[in-house]
């Protein structure tokens, strides 16, 4: 079940904590990956690690998602390199946190450009080859704060909420062509960034989660692998919340 052998996938932000876990999950199920990110050295190192540990002939494609020209070239480069694109995972994102009254225009613009606009451009570009093939899986990594909001993250929450609405709209447009579009919304996930938090702050975060712990990147990867699979053909326009019960949303 959830065998992705013979399928190809583009994962943005794939050298980061959650992105690398998603890449490992897809590769582990047999998909061939195009790993994308802005740091070429980190991508190359991760690609080598992935090839050595899991196997497969994965590739890396450096892309700065704040650069419109590079974004527009990413899907064609993926198709040229892998021969096709079956799965698109819009995972890359940034934060520029600030209270609303102090938020600079640049902080708003940068988050919207990378987290929302770049995802739109990649979805639009991937839709055509997927529709032609009459098969495709588009997965957007949103966030629990896109549904609940969060103080100091008006820009980030807006981008993630917008990504959800955008994905639902695309799902309706592409469903008849065998292409699905869904979201995975992580809650608090343990990464290198959270590992350095003081124990008291970790305890405070865990106290807000009924499961009593932060999630693992592998748990996000498993959710993406399901939505990317052939078995998920009848699931589209949905948001799968993976947050340990912190926000029980329908």
Active site residues: 156
Burial class of 196 by CB neighbour count within 10 A (0 to 12, 13 to 18, 19+): exposed
Q: Provide the 3-class DSSP secondary structure of residue 194.
A: helix
Q: Would you tell me how many other CB atoms lie within 10 Å of the CB of residue 61? A: 22
Q: Of 41, 175, 158, give the one whose Cα is nearest residue 97.
A: 158
| 88 bridge partner residues | 10, 138
The size of the chain, in residues, is 250
Nearby residues of 37 by Cβ (< 8 Å), 6 or more positions away: 12, 13, 14, 15, 16, 19, 43, 60, 62, 63, 92
């Amino acid at each position: 079940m959830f065998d992705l052998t013979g399928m190809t996938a583009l994962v943005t932000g794939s050298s980061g904590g959650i992105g690398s876990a998603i890449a490992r999950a897809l590769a582990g199920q047999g998909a061939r990956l195009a790993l994308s990110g802005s740091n070429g050295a980190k991508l190359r190192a991760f690609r080598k690690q992935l090839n050595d540990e899991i196997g497969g002939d994965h590739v890396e494609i450096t892309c700065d998602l704040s650069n419109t020209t590079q974004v527009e070239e990413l899907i064609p480069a993926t198709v040229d390199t892998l021969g096709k694109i079956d799965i698109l995972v819009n995972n890359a994102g940034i934060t520029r946190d600030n209270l609303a009254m102090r938020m600079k225009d640049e902080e708003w613009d940068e988050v919207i450009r990378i987290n929302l606009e770049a995802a739109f451009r990649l979805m639009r570009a991937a839709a055509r080859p997927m529709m032609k093939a009459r098969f495709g899986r588009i997965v957007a990594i949103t966030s629990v704060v896109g549904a609940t909001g969060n103080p100091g993250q008006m820009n980030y929450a807006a981008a993630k909420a917008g990504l959800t609405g955008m994905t639902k709209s695309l799902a309706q447009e592409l469903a008849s062509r065998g292409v699905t579009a869904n979201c995975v919304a992580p809650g608090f996930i343990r990464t290198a960034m959270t590992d350095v938090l003081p124990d008291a702050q970790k305890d405070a975060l865990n106290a807000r989660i009924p499961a009593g712990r932060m999630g693992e990147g592998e748990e996000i990867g498993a959710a993406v692998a399901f939505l990317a699979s052939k078995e998920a053909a009848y699931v589209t326009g949905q948001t799968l919340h993976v947050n340990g019960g912190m926000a029980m949303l329908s």
